[in-house]
């Protein structure tokens, strides 16, 4: 039986591109979101998030009548849940949105439907979701009760796309398919093959859940290694970027790059899901999180030292010094400032410094609310010509292109090794 109607619940950075990908293959897609602004924007053929190429695909899908957004769930043949799974104050995963989505789809479920969880989730979340559904719909059978014969098929199929390259990676990346039974995996594979050019690799739901957490924890641990090296190298007077480039010439060494910390909504969050479930075993994963989370404070300390040096060697007072921070985004060449270590460092500098704090961020039009009244948005030229201390936080292409000769300041904190 093919899928006539597909429902995608949660129209954010993952849900909307996924809905658009199905619609671009001429499938009828109903996108569901609790945010009426997002729903209205999409129904006008526009988008409420920033992602290259997504606007065109959504516009065509809406104009062609294949994609429609709504706030209330309606019947469909497949349901994909792509709602946020943040963590709570104690780093425990917060499954409230997944639970709410599950409860809202339960009443419209019918025999033969497929339910897929895509949201990053702790191990066991898919089985928990299946139990929630079974409690509300005793008239239907689920894989935990009826195995291959279940009325409803359920699978965990994590996304693994890189923000900024979502429309390419969504189609090309291999997809892990974690069905609660072989029939569930077969059905989920059939669904993703509607748009997927990568391969569907089948496993069970628990392994698929752990796989998603493992991928992002691997990256976090590797970045923590680079960040720890950057601290050691600063003590020893060694250029950490030269060191890593040299070490990476070894055929079996591939160290990532240090920076001001780790940001975004995935790598800084997902490892905690493993730690929360395995507090005594996940020692390395926890320590990596702590190393990366502490990096912005180390950067702040470096800035304070450069400012002290600057004051010693000039006749200016601290209140007369201008500190220019280059970059606010959570990584290069995007405008996403959420969970950004660059933003965190800049806020700390602005709160501490008695003089002016300047921000250079070509990806924003105005100073963000969090920094309003504390910092001023200036051009790169103004910062390079007039600031006393430079702080490089995000290696945007525009900043990499700055000629070393333009940097006349003696006091520079370069967290990305761009101006060495």
Residue 216 found at the interface with ligand SAJ (CB under 6 A):
yes
Tell me the per-residue interface mask from 68 to 97 with ligand SAJ, x by CB under 6 A, - otherwise. ------------------------------
Residue 363 found at the interface with ligand SAJ (CB under 6 A):
no
- Nearest approach in angstroms of CB 361 to ligand SAJ is 15
CB 390 within 8 Å of CB 412: yes
- Nearest approach in angstroms of CB 416 to ligand SAJ is 8
Residue 259 found at the interface with ligand SAJ (CB under 6 A):
yes
From 69-77, 92-100, 154-162, 196-204, give the range in contact with ligand SAJ by CB under 6 A.
154-162
Question: Which string of DSSP letters, residue by residue, matches 114-180?
Answer: EEEE-S---TTHHHHHHHHHHHH-TTS--HHHHGGG-SSEEEE----PPTTSHHHHHHHS-EEEEES
CB 411 within 8 Å of CB 309: yes
Q: Which residues contact 358 (CB under 8 A, 6 or more apart)?
A: 322, 323, 324, 325, 375, 376, 377, 378, 382, 383, 387
**Residue 325 class from Cβ within 10 Å (0-12 exposed, 13-18 middle, 19+ buried)?**
buried
CA distance 160 to 63: 28
**Residue 65 class from Cβ within 10 Å (0-12 exposed, 13-18 middle, 19+ buried)?**
exposed
Residue 219 found at the interface with ligand SAJ (CB under 6 A):
yes
Q: Give the active site residue among 200, 266, 310, 325.
A: 266
Residue 143 found at the interface with ligand SAJ (CB under 6 A):
no
Q: Please indicate whether residue 310 is annotated as part of the active site.
A: no
Q: Give the active site residue among 157, 184, 200, 212.
A: 212
Exactly one of 152, 161, 345, 383 binds ligand SAJ (CB under 6 A); which one?
A: 161
**CB closer to ligand SAJ out of 51 and 356:** 51
Residue 264 found at the interface with ligand SAJ (CB under 6 A):
yes
Phi, psi of 411 (to 5 degrees): -110, 100
Q: Please indicate whether residue 266 is annotated as part of the active site.
A: yes
Q: Which of residues 315-354 bind ligand SAJ (CB under 6 A)?
A: 330-331
Residues near ligand SAJ, by CB under 6 A: 120, 159-163, 215-216, 219, 223, 256-257, 259, 262-264, 266-267, 330-331
């Amino acid at each position: 039986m093919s899928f006539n109607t597909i429902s995608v619940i949660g129209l954010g950075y993952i849900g909307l591109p996924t809905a658009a990908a199905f619609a671009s293959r001429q499938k009828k897609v109903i996108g569901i979101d609790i945010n009426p602004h997002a729903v209205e924007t999409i129904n006008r053929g526009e988008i409420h998030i920033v992602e290259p190429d997504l606007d065109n695909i959504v516009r065509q899908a809406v104009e062609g009548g294949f994609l429609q957004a709504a706030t209330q769930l309606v019947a469909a043949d497949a349901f994909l849940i792509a709602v946020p799974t943040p963590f709570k104050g104690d780093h425990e995963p917060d499954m409230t949105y997944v639970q709410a989505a599950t409860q809202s789809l339960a009443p419209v479920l019918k025999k033969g439907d497929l339910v897929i969880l895509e949201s990053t989730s702790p191990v066991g979340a898919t089985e928990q979701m299946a139990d929630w559904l079974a409690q509300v719909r005793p008239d239907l059978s689920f894989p935990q009760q009826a195995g291959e014969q279940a009325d409803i098929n359920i699978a965990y199929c994590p996304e693994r796309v890189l923000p900024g390259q979502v429309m390419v990676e969504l189609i090309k990346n291999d997809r892990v398919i974690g069905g609660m039974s072989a029939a569930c995996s077969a059905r989920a594979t059939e669904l993703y093959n509607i748009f997927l050019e990568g391969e569907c690799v089948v496993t069970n739901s628990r392994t698929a859940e752990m796989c998603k957490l493992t991928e992002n924890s691997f990256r976090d641990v590797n970045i923590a290694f680079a960040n720890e090296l950057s601290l050691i190298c600063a003590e020893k007077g060694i250029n950490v970027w030269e060191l890593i480039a040299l070490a990476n010439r070894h055929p079996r060494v591939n160290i990532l790059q240090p920076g001001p910390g780790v940001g975004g909504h995935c790598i800084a969050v997902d490892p905690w899901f493993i730690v929360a479930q395995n507090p005594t075993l996940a020692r390395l994963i926890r320590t990596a999180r702590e190393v990366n989370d502490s990096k912005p404070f180390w950067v702040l300390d470096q800035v304070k030292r450069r400012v002290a040096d600057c004051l010693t060697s000039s006749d200016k007072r601290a209140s007369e010094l201008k500190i220019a921070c280059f970059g606010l985004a959570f990584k290069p060449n995007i405008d996403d400032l959420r969970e950004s270590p660059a933003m965190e460092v800049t806020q700390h500098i602005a709160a501490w410094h008695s003089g002016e704090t300047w921000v250079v961020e070509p990806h924003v039009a105005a100073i963000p609310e969090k920094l309003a009244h504390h910092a001023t948005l200036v051009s790169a030229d103004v910062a390079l010509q007039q600031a006393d201390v430079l702080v490089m936080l995000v290696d945007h292409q525009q900043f990499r292109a700055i000629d070393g000769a333009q940097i006349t300041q003696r006091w520079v904190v370069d967290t990305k090794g761009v101006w060495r």
